[in-house]
Amino acid sequence: MNLTVQVLLKRYRCGDVRALAQLITLCENGANHFTEDFVEEKEHHVVGITGSPGVGKSSIIDELALRYVDRGERVAVVAIDPSSPFTHGAFLGDRVRMRKLSTKGVVIRSMASRGNGGGLAPAITSVLKLLSGFGFSKIFLETVGIGQAEVDVANVADTVILVLSPGIGDEIQLFKTGVMEIADIYVVNKADLEESKKLRTLVEQTVNQGKTEGWKRRIVGTSCVEWCGFEELEEAINEHLQYLKESGELLARRTRRRKFALISRFLRYVRETVEKVAVEDLTLEGLKKAICDDIIFGRENKKDENIYQGGR
């Protein structure tokens, strides 16, 4: 491990938010291996908030996070927005709707999806580990405004909340896809709007059908304009956490997250290796050989060293 990471980790362990932020940047830039051996996860609860663009994910987090701060929890928010596939730039705008939090000691980190198609960012599992190790007990994770197939959040969060709202136009689309099945809690937001009632009825008809054992999925109506429904939502989240702990499901979800982290990392490694394979060797055998060479010559480790050297 090089000096930069060592120094940062020392400051991180002393509770320095800036060091935390800089370590997150390192993870985003691909140098995340140190999180495996040198960061220790603490007790925490990751609440994933997903849903189509503009349904009110950030507004809901703004209100919800505040409630947990008032209960004495240490709260962090990770909000992911899409990177442009062409310029790789990103407009990260979730802070605009999280205005109350900026005065309450809540750490907010905006992340770009950096080409990741599942609604999260490549570094997400390392970043969650860093946040939990820093002492945040409640971590809200806002995904990219999803379309249809972006369901990675279910591999990473302990509790998944799907936010729906009227007037977005693609609810029916959502019902047809996997996204509708991944949530533990359904929020029908913008309850102040008349059409919200109809949507709620529709959700009630769809959710829990044919499902009898285990967690009974909850449906909550909220409004970020009239400030209603949040008590009920908080209750649902707490009940789900209780359920996770009692049923042993929490452990299962953590294992799922670790598997997901490993798979993501391996896929990235394979992608990079494929890029290095010569055109005439573009076969499974060729790839296997390239990976074996890599292992034999320990190139993976060396490369990591280089990345650490390159970090700030």
Ligand X SMILES: Nc1nc2c(ncn2[C@@H]2O[C@H](COP(=O)(O)OP(=O)(O)OP(=O)(O)O)[C@@H](O)[C@H]2O)c(=O)[nH]1
Return residues touching other proteins (CB under 8 A).
17-18, 21-22, 24-25, 28-31, 83-84, 87-93, 95-96, 99, 102-103, 107-110, 112, 114, 272, 307, 310, 312
Using CB under 6 A as the binding rule, whether residue 83 contacts ligand X is answered as: no
Segment near ligand X (CB under 6 A), from 37-45, 47-55, 199-207, 238-246?
47-55
Tell me which of 63, 94, 152, 158 binds ligand X, using CB under 6 A: 94
Determine the Cα–Cα distance for residues 35 and 5; give it in Å rounded to an integer.
10
Please give the single-letter amino acid code of residue 6: Q
Using CB under 6 A as the binding rule, whether residue 59 contacts ligand X is answered as: yes
Using CB under 6 A as the binding rule, whether residue 145 contacts ligand X is answered as: yes
Please give the single-letter amino acid code of residue 130: L
Question: Token digits for 150?
Answer: 């972006």
Tell me which of 54, 135, 178, 310 binds ligand X, using CB under 6 A: 54
CB 237 within 8 A of CB 47: yes
Q: Is the dihedral of CA 128, 160, 246, 69 positive or negative?
A: positive
Number of residues that bind ligand X (CB under 6 A): 18
How would you label 136-155 residue by residue, b for 16+ Cβ within 10 Å and e otherwise? bbbbbbbbbbbeeebbbbbb
Strands 75-81 and 185-188: unpaired
Segment near ligand X (CB under 6 A), from 100-108, 122-130, 186-194, 289-297?
186-194
Nearest-approach distance from CB 208 to ligand X, in angstroms: 24
Tell me which of 94, 150, 158, 184 binds Mg ion, using CB under 5 A: 94
